[in-house]
Every structure is written in structure tokens, then in C-alpha cells.
A and B are shown apart, each in its own frame.
Chain A
Amino acid sequence: MSPAPFRSHISLTSALVCALTAAAAQAQAPAAPAAPPSWQQGRNAEQEKSPLHPFAIEVTGKSAKQLPVDKLKVPDGFKVEVWAEGLPGARSMALGSKGTVFVGTRQLKDVYAIVDRGGKREVKTLLKDLDSPNGVVFSRGTLYVAERHRITRYDGIESRLDNPPEAKVVVDGLDPQKQPGHFWKFLALGPDGKLYYNVGAPGNIVMPSYFQASISRVDPKTGIIENYVQGVRNSVGFDWHPQTKQLWFGNHGRDWLGDESPNDTLHVATRKGQHFGYPYCHQGDTLDPEFGKNRSCSEFTPPALKLGAHIAPIGMRFYTGKMFPAEYQNNIFIAFRGSWNRTIKQGYNVTRVSFDADGKPKMEPFLTGFLQDEKADPPMWGRPNDVMVMRDGSLLVSDDQNGIIYRVSYAGK
């Protein structure tokens, strides 16, 4: 296999056509052009010279003092501060019953544990050499970790932070073809006691297999898995409404349909088996130029809210804390880690989604300042990734670009 140390969302195309076998460049036969890097898959001819490209994280992390963290802004009465640093690639977060914050990574191989010792946070590398351990869940003393190919459990973890137990497998074989694609996993515990995870699409815009482009779930007691919903290109953040107990999730739309299309989306699943459109229909109303031929968007469940094109919603949680003003109760916070696939960048913030009297969602930016220059390359100095409500009601925000976690608190009017 390839020695690639980091997993990527970028798919290596398998349909490589040998282009140049010529012994001398001058003597070559007419040859098909070489396959482009796979994140370029789905571009049209006009986009071939596009300078747009995904951004890589700082694998060694960055110190907050090297960064313009003073540019971060929150609404009046709120405060944002650096809470922990030295966690390269920090993504999904989970909170232990004794207060440990567990943090997964996607492009690195580590799971971190942050322990608060009298106001000073200590960062430990808890688990090493895992395969994109992006998903973390804590429940009843156990840490669950979702890697690309498996979900594992580490029992009694909070009393064993310096000598964690061996992983016990909940389910394995989730990446049978070991192919590149959107196969790192977000993990969350549903109200039914099952662990929910995404299996994304194997590329930008390609026909998924029956278990791909889905949100699936596994019963941790039995290891039995089932598809929950389909037609989801890639969702790496979901949560259940505290009252309706329905699953809400973000979804990343396809690339290379232009600056304004399609939107990334926020969805609610009202029952098992729903199909949300990928690869046929995007954002509930836009047929795919290739896969949407001879289809209709009316056969798919539309999104609850359009979030913005290529804005890359990652972590999302309902706010259930007691610290923020009452109108924040049961609102959703979503972290936007993009965009890269637009000429004028947008996003790079944490957005608040609130609901009107009819339950209709609307959004407004909540934590901003990561985006510095919407036309620059790179346009941002940090990328919010996951959000998590702490027991005191404050909100943690991870930034995988720099390996920093910020804390947003509310101090009053």
C-alpha cells in the first residue's frame, strides 16, 4: 500500500490511464492527459486552470501567540479566549464525566485528553497510531473512538489516562476496500443508545455504493449495524434535538459547481430510510448536471436550511447549557471550516441557528475573525472544527488548522 501517512478527503482516482510511456518526450504518440489530483474530480473544462485548492492543516500546530487570536469576535456580553493549545489537528471533542476533554484528529493519528488541573490545562496524547481517529464519544465511563475502519471502546478511561486499556472492537470492517474518500468518521451517541457515524461518498461526485453516502448506526451491545439515512455526501457533525429527539446533521455539498452552488446544508431526519439526494439532487432543488439527468428532486427530502456554498459545516450541537441567555436554549451552533472551493471565500466561523415561532431555522454568525481576506490564499488563519457545550454552559471550539481550543463564555450585559 501507499506509504501515505495522512488520510485525505481526496480520492485517488482508480481510472488512471497511462498517458506517457514515450521513451523520448519528442517521440510520444498522442496520449490522454494524466489524471488530475482527485480533489479536482468533477471540474468542467473552464475550471481546468482554476487556482482553487484545499488547505492543509499545520501538522506541528501553532502557538496562539503566533496567531491573531485578538481578531476573534463574539456578540456583546460574550467573551472568547484560548482554552488549550498544543493539540495539532484537533477536531471532534467529547466530555468525560470527571471533566476530561477528549479530542480526536483526522489527518494525524492521535487522540488527546485534556485535564484541567486547577485552571491550568494539561494536554496528554492519550492514544497513538490510529487510522484517522476523528470520532470520539464518552458514555458511562467508556471512550468510544471511530477510526476509518472500525469503532472501538476504551473502558474506565478517565482513571487510566496514563495507561489506557487496549481497544475493544465494537465493529470492524467499515472500510473494506481501503479506498480513498470521505471515510473518516464523526461519532455521536443517539437517544436510542446506538452509536451513529457517517460513511461518506468515495469522491467529490461519484456514484456511492449502498452503504456509502449514509449516516449509519451500530448497537454497541451487539455490534449490529444498519443504514439510518442515505443520500448524504458527507456529514461530519450531528446531534439530536433535545425535545423532539430528531437527528439534525450538516452535509457537505459537491465541489466545482461554482461559487454559489450548491449550498452545504442542514438537515433533519424524521425517520429511518430517508434519502437526501446525493448524488442526484443537491440542496433539495438542484439536479446534478451528470447524475441528475432523468431524476427529480421531489423524490428526496429537502434540507431544513441552506448554509452557504462550500462553507463546510463540521461540528454542530444544540445549546443546552445554562450560561448563555435564554434565547440560546436549543439553538444550534455549527462550525464552518470552509470554504476553499469558491473564488471569494466565506465561512470560517461558528454560526448560530435559531428557530422562529413556526420552527423555521435562521442563522447568524456567532464567533468570527478567522477569515482575514476573502480573496487571499490562504484566506484564513484558523479553521473552527467542532463545538461542545461544557457543564458550566460555556462553549468550546476546536481549530484543527492550528491545534487550538477556544472557549466562549457569557458574562452578562
Chain B
Amino acid sequence: MSGRSRNSGGAAAMFAAALCFFLPYAAADEVPRKAQACVACHGLGGNSTDPAMPSLAGQPAQFISMQLFMFREGNRKDPQMSPMASSLSNADMNELAAYFSRQRPAAASHETASGNAAAGRRLAEQHHCVQCHGPALLGLQHIPRLAGQQFAYLRTQLRGFKARTRADFDGNMTSAAELLSENDIEILADYLSGLTPPRD
């Protein structure tokens, strides 16, 4: 089965998770040739070490393929990503999405400032982040995992949604970010980036 569902693929997923536990990140899954260009910026196994570069490891496959699609179609624009996506076919995008979604997310390297954990959680609930991204902010289907994502990247995206320069699948993020102040964005990004995604 597709493995998109958090409720499906039980035995296979548990086996894969058990396997991952004993292996270093990158060795758990052979890197497809198409993904080799990605890891130069997004990090080994899609675990970015650059605060401005998003981690892809463990992101929902549908989220990754949708973002690649948006870069290729010109809805999202980025000097690095737009050319990278321009030559990818739909099948390429699905393959990359499947690969990175299978990778194990690293522990959060970002440390949330004291006070921002509680304030960030409050904002995440008040602004309905948890409604779509889930109570633990892990994402599902076309909605990204925010927990442990890179700080500067999250901040840039939220600023972009608020400024209506960041493309949005269904208007929900544009609507949600409209009400955030610059300070809210700072706190939210700081809070989200410091959350460690579950590792099994």
C-alpha cells in the first residue's frame, strides 16, 4: 500500500522503523540518483543542517510532490528550487517524494528560547495550526510536518504567506498567516523548530 496513511502499512512500517533504528540514516535506504542533487542542500537523507533549508526527511510524500509540482509550475518561485524542479516529470517527483518521506528525521538541533515554548504552543492553538498540521504538528498527506523543521525556513514561509507571496494550495495558510504579527512569526518558528519529531 501507499504508506501515506498514518494508520496503514503497520507491519511493514514497524519493520522499516526497526531497521532504521540500527542503521545510520543514509544507509537505511539507497539514495536514488535523482535525489543526489537534493541532498547537497537538504542534507544527507533530507536532514538539513542549514537553518534556511528545509528538512525533507520524514515529510509526508504528498506534501513533497505537491511542493515540487508548485516549483515546476511556477506557483512557488525560488532561485535554487525553480531550476531544479523545472525538468522533473510527475513520476520523478513521486519518486523523490517517496524516498524522502521514508527517511528518518533527525533530532531537532534548534533550541527554543525560554518562554517561547509555552507562548509558541499558545499561538499554534490560537491560530489553528494544530487543526491541519495535527496536535503534535507532524503533518499528514499534503500538509507538512512542522515539528523540528529549520527555524529560518519556517519564518520565511510564514512571512511569505502573510505577504501573499508564498503560494498556497487552498488558501488556508494565507488566511491563517494574515493574522500573525512579525513577533508571532518569530515565536512560532522558534517553538516549532525546537520540537523533536518522534523517532520511531
Contacts and interface: CB of A to CB of B under 8 A. Distances in A.
Interface residues of B, number: 51
B128 A34 contact: yes
B90 interface: yes
Contact of A37 (B140, B176, B183): B176
Given A4-B170, A6-B170, A38 B175 contact: yes
A260 interface: no
A4 B168 contact: yes
A56 B141 contact: yes
A35 B4 contact: no
Interface stretch (B19-27, B43-51, B69-77, B101-109): B69-77
A169 B110 CA distance: 55
Given A60-B90, A88-B90, A34 B179 contact: yes
Interface in B151-176: 164-172, 174-176
Interface string B58-69: 000010011011
A10 B172 contact: yes
A373 to B, nearest CB: 7
A38 B144 CA distance: 19
Nearest to B89: A60
A61 B168 contact: no
Contacts, number: 140
A312 B132 CA distance: 21
Contacts of B86: none
Contacts of B73: 5
Interface of B: 1-2, 4-8, 62, 65-66, 68-70, 73, 75, 90-91, 93-94, 97, 115, 119, 122-123, 126-128, 131-132, 140-142, 164-172, 174-176, 178-181, 183-184, 187
Interface of A: 1-6, 8, 10, 12-13, 16, 18-26, 33-40, 53-56, 58-63, 66-68, 86, 88, 180, 372-373, 375-378, 381
28 contacts: A2-B164, A2-B168, A2-B171, A2-B174, A3-B166, A3-B167, A4-B168, A10-B172, A12-B171, A13-B175, A20-B180, A23-B181, A23-B183, A26-B119, A35-B175, A36-B128, A37-B128, A38-B171, A54-B170, A56-B66, A56-B142, A60-B66, A60-B94, A376-B8, A377-B7, A377-B141, A378-B5, A378-B141
